[in-house]
Amino acid sequence: MPLAEAVLRYTNFHRRFGFGDVTADEPHPSWHAYARELSRFASHDARAGWTQAFYTQSPDERLSFPDHVFGCFYFHASHDSEIVRLHFYNRDPLGPLGKGRMGERQRELACMFALIRQRFPHVTQVEGRSWLYGTEAYRRLFPEQYVRSRVPAENDRQFRGMSRWGQFLDHHDNVKPLLKATFLRNIDRLDASRLWQAFPLPSFRVGAPIDAFYECYGIRN
């Protein structure tokens, strides 16, 4: 597989460059300028330097539904599905998951689910996927029924989101050196049919009825 195609399919650079989601494997038109130069370079350092340079002049990462953002959380929902999907981004410079910020995170979730109940009353199920469900600091924000459902996310074919790549960044967006080193060692013995095993921390799938969230956050009709 050409390098530029592998980067498109198996990293979240397309999103990080502010191009949004890849639709049917067709990238944003501006992606092609990045891909052409990436393919031209022969060394890792040159490719990394070009990627950093391209990122610095790219637009901010954008969300498909900016009105679905509540602090560090946002959600995907539609009138055609009974499932709402939760996502997390660090937007708190004080540290998003410390005990001192737990109340703020839960207030964000309460506001978010109040909106979901009002705007998407047909939704019956909440689902999520992230490496963060492996941490107590994140699990304690949610209903017990939801976090108790977690199972490792395996057999993945897509690696474009932060549900796996986010584990490499601390809350200042610096790369965690130990996880980076483990990842690079794992690549040396990579099984191409089980790519998820290269990541030091597993990603988990979770799900629960939305009523568990309404009860947890005290949301009434």
Can you give the pLDDT at residue 208? 98
Residue 146, burial from CB neighbour count under 10 angstroms (0-12, 13-18, 19+)? buried
- Domain closes at, from 21, 36, 62: 62
Residues in the chain: 221
- What integer is the mean pLDDT of 177-202? 94
Q: Which domain holds residue 96?
A: 64-221
Domain boundary among 12, 29, 62: 62
Angle (CA) 50-55-57 rounded to 5° is 105
Asked if residue 110 and residue 77 are part of one domain, the reply reads: yes
Q: Measured between alpha carbons, how far apart are the two ends of the chain, in Å?
A: 53
* Confidence label for 31 from pLDDT (cuts 50, 70 and 90): very high
Report the percent of the chain where pLDDT is more than 70. 98
Q: Give the domain CATH number at 157.
A: 3.40.630
Q: Which of 51-55, 61-65, 89-93, 168-172 has the lowest mean pLDDT?
A: 61-65
Closest by Cα among 29, 25, 28, 32 to 10: 25
Tokens of 60: 């901010």
Q: Which of 8-17, 31-40, 57-66, 79-88 has the lowest mean pLDDT?
A: 57-66
Q: What is the CA radius of gyration of the chain?
A: 19
In the predicted structure, residue 64 carries a pLDDT above the cut 70: no
Can you point out the beta strands (E) in the chain?
A: 69-70, 73-76, 83-88, 125-130, 151-152, 204-209
218 backbone φψ class: left, alpha, beta (φ>0; ψ -120 to 50): left
**What are the CA-CA distances from residue 11 to residues 20, 54, 105, 157, 177 (Å)?**
13, 15, 28, 12, 19
**Residues 79, 44 share a domain:** no
Q: Taking Cα atoms as reference points, which of 118, 73, 78 lies closest to residue 214?
A: 118
Residue 22's pLDDT is what?
83
The mean pLDDT value for 54-83 works out to 88
* 203 and 122 both lie in a single domain: yes
pLDDT score of 20: 85
Mark whether 33 and 81 lie in a shared domain: no
Q: In sequence order, what DSSP letters do the residues of 107-172 get, joined into one string?
A: HHHHHHHHHHHHH-TT--EEEEEEGGGGSHHHHTTS-HHHHTT-EE--S-----SHHHHGGGB-TT
Same domain? For 17 and 84 the reply is no
Phi, psi dihedral angles at 154 (to 5 degrees): -120, 175
**CA 81, CA 87: separation in Å to the nearest integer?**
17
8 A C-beta contact, residue 109 and residue 141: yes
**What's the pTM value of the predicted model, to 2 decimals?**
0.88
| Tokens at 131, concatenated | 């490496």
pLDDT, tens only, 144-181 = 999 999 999 988 777 888 889 999 998 888 999 999 99
Position 63 pLDDT exceeds 80: no
The overall average pLDDT reported for the chain is 92
Domain count, the chain: 2
